[in-house]
A and B are shown apart, each in its own frame.
Chain A
Amino acid sequence: MFDEKTKNQEQKLKTGFDAQMKKRYGDRDFNLKTDGGIPINPVYSPGDIEDLDFAHIGFPGQYPYTRGIYPTMYQAQPWVMQQIHGHGTPEHCRERMDYLAKLGLTGYGEMRSYNLVFDQVCKFGYDPDNPEAGDMVGLVGVNMSNLDDYDRLLHGLDLAKTSVVLNQGIHSMIALAYYIVYGEQRGVPKEKLRGNTMNWLYKGWMSDLEMYPPNSAFMIMSNFIRWCSRNMPQWNTTNLVSYFAEEAGGTPVQEAGMAMAVGVALTKACIAAGCQPDEFLPRFGFQIALGMDIFEHVAKIRAMRRMWATINRERFGAKDSHSLQLRCHSQTSAVSLTAQQPFVNIIRSAYGALVGVLSGVNGMTINAYDEALGIPTDESLMLAIRTHQVALYETGVPNVTDPLAGSYYVEWLTEKIYREAWAYMEKIEELGGFQKCWETGWLREELANSAYQWRRRIDNGEKVVVGLNKLRSDVHRKTEIYKVDPEVKAICIRRIKEYRAKRGMEKERRQALDNLKTACEGVLDNHKADFMPALIECARSHSTVQEMCDVMKEVFGWGTVY
């Protein structure tokens, strides 16, 4: 990376620096580590990165895209302000959408992007009147259990100019089926709908929630991707989320390694379903954590872009540049937020936003300061949006793409994380691959161990969290906590009962649900069928979320892995 002259100069100057250090501190070991545990030095210089290959860094918009996926980044297109939100009835959620729009929420170009989270009840496939729903209806997401709810949520919006993230978790395919039928009703064909589905059924490995078993999960995901790739070219099918791995305790190296292992497993599953890599890879995206150790997380995102490009070109022979570009939605760290002195979280999330902008992410959710206490209030949400806007308009950071490139430390750390995460991904493959490591619980134990060590470091004071284990405040200011309208559950139950009573189309619905069962069986039989057309017919014939999910659960299996 450097010529002889620089190397000689460095050697000479370093001798002087070392002598100074020795004089001041003797042999003191500062014992520095990144938050993820990578040992680091107090200072970096050309010698630390002399072995790097400039071809691995290059320019933004060039393979391997370490520095960003486009030649111009925020100069041409600011990141999408993708504030995740959702609660209550569709009307409550819509009120928030309009509020966000009023605050200046922006998306790609003229599009407005809404990152909508559904409640646990529809995520797990229950109607609101099912006893299993308990008191979770509309609590931390919007309840969307039938076709009518989509009009309550989206009436009056220009769907061709609206991008929606349908976060119905593992059941986001059902949200898409409804959205397609709703689009038809509004005169917008499915080919013109924009947005993305989670399709993250692999997520079961992170916890012991009820889920489709691993084998079925990969069949469902790849079948869904195949259908979308061939029928909805503008639709972003899959969110390769590694944010949750980090939130569950993963270090940046673990997060990057696991994310790539998931990507590889899913790509293989799609190829097995008969797809070509360039058919589906361009519509994959990531959701990456913006953790508290600023440089470590910037280095992680740079390393992940390089990994994704390298894997897809070298291993899968992808040629389309979109297949090689890691499109990155991101979210500031939630695990760093404290319930104590919650206003301090505004500062934490702003630093997280800085990580995002320095990394060149394409979309970002900035957590509101009160999210260790509940879902955001109007005020805390406004501050989160303003954090985006101050970063964009006032800090000057977005002017220059990948401004940390060339930093001895950041380049050294990027290379380090790249190598370690690559080795971690290979370790997963040596242990039988991602699906196997999900089934055996190896991945989950890895995260639990990291989470344990993290918390032990806090409990024994080795790691300082301001206001939690140090610098506590005696002043207890009351923080307003958002309360979801207590009538939500009753409203949703009343509506679903009325919906069932008045919906008609009995015969068509029975047929559609039967066809769904056959289609799902066909999916398991080596992808002889697609389940999406059947789901769309179910939505069209006024099936509820639970009616569709019950069929899928019956065919694909349902339960806990661990």
Chain B
Amino acid sequence: MEKHKKQPRVKVLLSKSKMDVHDRGVRYLARRMLESGMEVVLSRHGLIDEVANIALQEDADVIGLSFSVGGHIAACERLQRLLKEKGIDDKLVIVGGIIPDDDVPTLNKLNIAGVFGAGSSADEAISFIKSSLSPN
């Protein structure tokens, strides 16, 4: 069914801390992304460094991080630094889960392209990725 597509499929790396059990949302998002034609790698990480490594190996276009128990600012800060070191800071990084509104400006400053907090729909995240990666 993908034959008629000219462009390669968008590849998304979704990851969540292996100490955070709340994976209902991210797993739903992964399934919706697959249904919308994206390629999805769903991973669990210990240190955020693991995400940077997988992003490099998998050559993902998008990195999506899910946080439900906090710690997102420090993790995003470190991830962006690592991506830069590896020369792959062109990735679209998005964040979702339980993200307080007050933290959004800080995340934006950290070059997080989109923040999809509680109440966001999977479709919003998918449309955002599609429009952000579209050449136009």
Contacts and interface: CB of A to CB of B under 8 A. Distances in A.
A120 B27 contact: no
A339 B46 CA distance: 27
Given A339-B118, A451-B27, A459-B122, A373 B70 contact: no
Contacts of A206: 21
Interface string B45-89: 011100000000000000000000111001100000000000000
A135 B24 contact: no
Interface string A113-140: 0000000110110000001101110011
Interface string A375-408: 0000000000000000000000000000000000
A282 interface: no
B39 interface: no
Interface in B73-109: 74-75, 98, 100, 102
Nearest to A483: B100
B98 A372 contact: yes
Contact of B119 (A208, A338, A560): A338
B69 A139 contact: yes
A207 B21 contact: yes
Contact of A135 (B18, B23, B70): B70
B121 interface: yes
A455 interface: yes
Nearest to A126: B19
A374 B47 CA distance: 22
A452 interface: yes
B75 A448 contact: no
Interface string A486-502: 00000000000000000
Contacts of B20: 120
A139 B70 contact: yes
A481 interface: yes
A480 B100 CA distance: 10
Contact of A132 (B47, B71, B102): B47
A335 interface: yes
A134 B74 CA distance: 9
Contact of A120 (B24, B48, B69, B123): B69
Given A372-B98, A459-B122, A459-B123, A135 B47 contact: no
Contact of B98 (A124, A132, A374, A455): A374
Contacts of B18: 208-210, 560
Interface residues of B, number: 28
B135 to A, nearest CB: 28
A84 B10 CA distance: 42
B128 interface: no
Given A208-B44, A481-B102, A134 B27 contact: no
B117 interface: yes
Nearest to B23: A207
A373 to B, nearest CB: 6
Contacts of B102: 481
Contacts of A529: none
B14 to A, nearest CB: 12
Given A207-B23, A459-B123, A560-B44, A338 B118 contact: yes
B24 A134 contact: no
A207 B17 CA distance: 12
A340 interface: yes
Contact of A209 (B31, B44, B71, B98): B44
B27 A339 contact: no
Nearest to B28: A455
Interface residues of A, number: 36
A468 B71 contact: no
Interface in B27-46: 27-28, 31, 44, 46
A134 B69 contact: no
A252 interface: no
B101 to A, nearest CB: 8
A292 to B, nearest CB: 16
B100 A248 contact: no
A249 interface: yes
Contacts of A120: 19-20, 69
Nearest to B24: A451
B118 A373 contact: yes
Interface string A187-221: 00000000000000000001111100000000000
B95 to A, nearest CB: 15
Nearest to A482: B100
Nearest to A342: B118
B44 A452 contact: no
A484 B69 CA distance: 12
Contacts of A136: 17, 19, 69-71
B69 A452 contact: no
A210 B19 CA distance: 8
A134 B23 contact: no
A124 B20 CA distance: 10
A85 to B, nearest CB: 15
Interface in A421-457: 448, 451-452, 455
A338 B120 CA distance: 11
Contacts of B74: 134-135
Nearest to A206: B21
Contacts of B119: 338-340, 468
B71 A135 contact: yes
A210 B117 CA distance: 26
26 contacts: A121-B19, A123-B19, A132-B46, A134-B71, A134-B75, A135-B74, A139-B71, A209-B19, A209-B21, A210-B18, A244-B21, A248-B23, A338-B119, A339-B117, A339-B118, A339-B119, A340-B118, A372-B118, A373-B118, A374-B70, A374-B100, A451-B27, A451-B28, A452-B28, A455-B28, A459-B121
Q: 3 shortest A-B CB distances, which residue pairs?
A: A339-B118, A135-B71, A120-B19
Given A139-B69, A209-B44, A339-B117, 13 more contacts: A120-B20, A121-B19, A134-B17, A134-B74, A140-B69, A208-B44, A339-B98, A339-B118, A373-B100, A451-B27, A455-B28, A459-B121, A481-B102
